[in-house]
Amino acid sequence: MKVSTKGRYGLQLMLELALQWGRGPVLVATIAQRQGLPPKYLHVLLGSLKAAGLLKVQRGPSGGCELSRAPSRIQVLEILEILEGRLDGEPDSGDGAGSQVVAALLARSQAASRALLAKCSLADLADQQQALEAGSAGYAI
């Protein structure tokens, strides 16, 4: 499973909002600076995430964006599928003698990846980021 720049940046955007959860709207410029992302690209992502109901966006001097629900209620898979489309396409295994075995292996791999991403919430990512920033080792999803 390959995740594009759009998916990675979208996850970083949402992670930053999870880290700021409960503090009110966050400026796109603040998100861009903290995550090292281009602000113009973030504005593109905001439209898709808002349309899907994951974000609330406020305009004006005290505006910004924030999650529409708690980070623990937003799965990584949901974010990626909004930005990337469905992540369980048919794996291309070729036409050789072992193509069925290879196709079965790739299908199991995709299913395992989807299960991991469905199990992982934004709150899990935020906890991992906070542990990393605090210098804790050994944290894993």
Check: pTM over 0.75? Answer yes or no. Answer: yes
Residue pLDDT, tens place only, 108-128? 988 898 999 999 999 999 999
> Can you tell me which residue has the tokens 């070729």?
94
Is residue 138 pLDDT above 60, yes or no?
no
Residue pLDDT, tens place only, 16-59? 999 999 999 999 999 999 999 999 999 999 999 999 999 999 88
Structural domains of the chain, with CATH: 5-133 (1.10.10.10)
Residues 6+ apart with CB under 8 A from 78: 54
Q: Helix axis angle, 76-84 relative to 99-119, nearest 10°?
A: 120
